[in-house]
Amino acid sequence: VDEATPKHGYHHGDLRRALCVAGYELARHGGLHAVTLREATRRAGVTAAAAYRHFSGLDDLLLAVAHLGLGDLARSIERRQGLVAETEQVPQAVALLEAVGLGYIDFARAEPGAFETALSGLATMEHADDADSTGDSGRTPYQLLTDAIGRLVAIGALPPERAEPAAVLCWSTVHGFATLAVRGPIRTYPAATLDALADELVRGVVTGVLDQESSLDQNRRPSGSSSPRSAS
């Protein structure tokens, strides 16, 4: 992800790459909305039409930019996981799952524009097998999440049929916090407060997911479990 090194090989060298990087920079500073074919080509020192040699159109560039964001998100998670100390099997596996959530929140707070772009729904996160969308371990953010949960299943801390709902619940929780911390009402909180809240949130959801009693008996309470639809 280094800039303005045109390493001439052919005409431009690797214009596709340069456009991706320029687009990603735009995303970082102005969010999804700021990523534009014309501005990306301008940054790359090239005519707008040149982009069409490497992308089918704007959407194609946006997708590539989103993949770059997912890669950085994966690296942010990997960094947190790298800090997990070795200990007994279960607590370590728990810590690795918590690191997924904490790294996710780190990235959203450090790079709100890139986060917004990566998670805007352009790249369907599960199927993002693009090389750019993986971290140093070669895994996408989603794979890092499912791997951490798979590990808990493997050591018997989570029943296999709970793996998928667990992934959804963890991801929802962390994603919501990240969103609110970036452009929601808690964006003005001091960083230390957000750190503490993030820790608590992540610990809470992981604990909840592993707690059989609260997660297995879905019909615990008789009050309406179906949903009234259509608002106003």
Residue 29 binding: pick among its own copies, DNA, none (C-beta 5-8 Å cut-off by kind): none
Smallest separation, CB 55 to DNA (Å): 8
Sequence-distant (≥ 6) Cβ neighbours of residue 146 within 8 angstroms: 163, 167
Sequence-distant (≥ 6) Cβ neighbours of residue 36 within 8 angstroms: 26, 58
Query: Which of 18, 43, 67, 106 is in the footprint of its own copies by CB under 8 A?
Result: 106
Give counts: helices (H), strands (E), the chain. Answer: 9, 0
Residue 34 CA to residue 55 CA, distance in Å, equals 18
Only segment of 13-21, 38-46, 148-156, 168-176 that touches its own copies (CB under 8 A)? 168-176
Residue 48 binding: pick among DNA, its own copies, none (C-beta 5-8 Å cut-off by kind): DNA
Query: Which of 86, 88, 121, 131 is in the footprint of its own copies by CB under 8 A?
Result: 121
Contact 145, 96 (CB under 8 A): no
CB-nearer residue toward its own copies: 9 or 222: 222
CB-nearer residue toward DNA: 42 or 220: 42
Please report, as residue ranges, which positions from 31 to 60 form the binding site for its own copies (by CB under 8 A): none
Contact 158, 166 (CB under 8 A): yes
Smallest separation, CB 14 to DNA (Å): 8
The structure tokens listed for 142 are 């989603």
DSSP string, 113-148: HHHHHHTSSSS-GGG---GGG--TTS--HHHHHHHH
Smallest separation, CB 187 to DNA (Å): 24
Residue 217 CA to residue 20 CA, distance in Å, equals 48
Point out which residues bind its own copies (CB under 8 A): 1, 72-73, 75-76, 79-80, 83-85, 95, 102, 106-107, 109-111, 114, 119, 121, 124-126, 142, 165, 168-169, 171-180, 183-186, 191, 195-201, 203-205, 207-209, 214-215, 218, 220-221, 223-232
